């Protein structure tokens, strides 16, 4: 199966992104529904992964800009039947390119303990104490994005 990751630009796609989050975080992981959607959803840039053939949305994540240099990734979710096929990695890579183009320097996220190896493979480093969010143990993780070298003119 071939997947495509795009930035959400319509309310229909946003609804589908929220449906994936509901399925994964609320139904699968038991996060209270009232905590799943939050005030940051209004300002976040949302991304979805869809099957190229069917256009079915099967994954999502969001990016919040915390300052001119810092972005926070959150709500990374892939439906169970589509896990282990590189979709989560593809979503993270598209978000990183997007962040890079917008001159963000650092990406941070709150990782569930079970997901830390997934983020470590992508270059994120855990720091600080374990904390609870929605009853699930998390640690903070960060990654520095490398800026493209400035072009130098020889003429």
Ligand X SMILES: CC(C)(COP(=O)(O)OP(=O)(O)OC[C@H]1O[C@@H](n2cnc3c(N)ncnc32)[C@H](O)[C@@H]1OP(=O)(O)O)[C@@H](O)C(=O)NCCC(=O)NCCS
- At residue 81's C-alpha, the angle toward residues 8 and 51, to 5°, is 40
How many residues sit in the footprint of ligand X (CB under 6 A)? Answer: 18
Give the per-residue contact string, 62-101, with ligand X (x = CB under 6 A; - = no).
--------------xxx----xxxxxxx------------
Q: How far is the CB of 110 from ligand X (least distance, A)?
A: 7
Closer to ligand X by Cβ: residue 24 or 63: 24
Tokens of 77: 């979710």
SS (H, E, C) 20-50: HHHHHHHHHCCCCHHHHCCHHHCCCEEEEEE
Query: Considering only residues 15, 27, 56, 121, which one is a binding residue for ligand X as defined by CB under 6 A?
Result: 121
Smallest separation (angstroms) from ligand X to the CB of 119 = 8
User: In which element (H, E) is residue 8 found?
Assistant: none
* 23 neighbors 58 (Cβ within 8 angstroms): no
CA dihedral (146, 109, 131, 84) positive or negative = negative
Site string for ligand X, 19-58 (x = CB under 6 A): -----x----------------------------------
If binding is defined by CB under 6 A, does position 117 make contact with ligand X?
Answer: yes
């Amino acid at each position: 199966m071939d997947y495509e990751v795009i930035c959400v630009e319509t309310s229909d796609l946003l609804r589908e992104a929220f449906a994936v989050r509901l399925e994964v975080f609320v139904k699968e992981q038991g996060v209270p529904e009232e905590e799943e959607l939050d005030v940051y959803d209004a300002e976040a840039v949302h991304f979805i992964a869809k099957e190229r053939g069917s256009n079915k949305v099967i994954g999502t994540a969001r990016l919040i800009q915390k300052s001119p240099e810092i972005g926070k990734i959150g709500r990374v979710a892939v439906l169970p039947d589509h896990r282990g096929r590189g979709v989560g990695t593809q979503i993270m890579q598209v978000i990183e390119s997007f962040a890079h183009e917008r001159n963000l320097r650092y990406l941070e996220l709150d990782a569930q303990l079970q997901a830390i190896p997934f983020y470590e493979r992508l270059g994120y480093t855990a720091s600080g104490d374990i904390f609870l969010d929605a009853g699930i143990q998390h640690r903070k993780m960060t990654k520095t994005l490398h800026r493209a070298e400035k072009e130098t003119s020889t003429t």
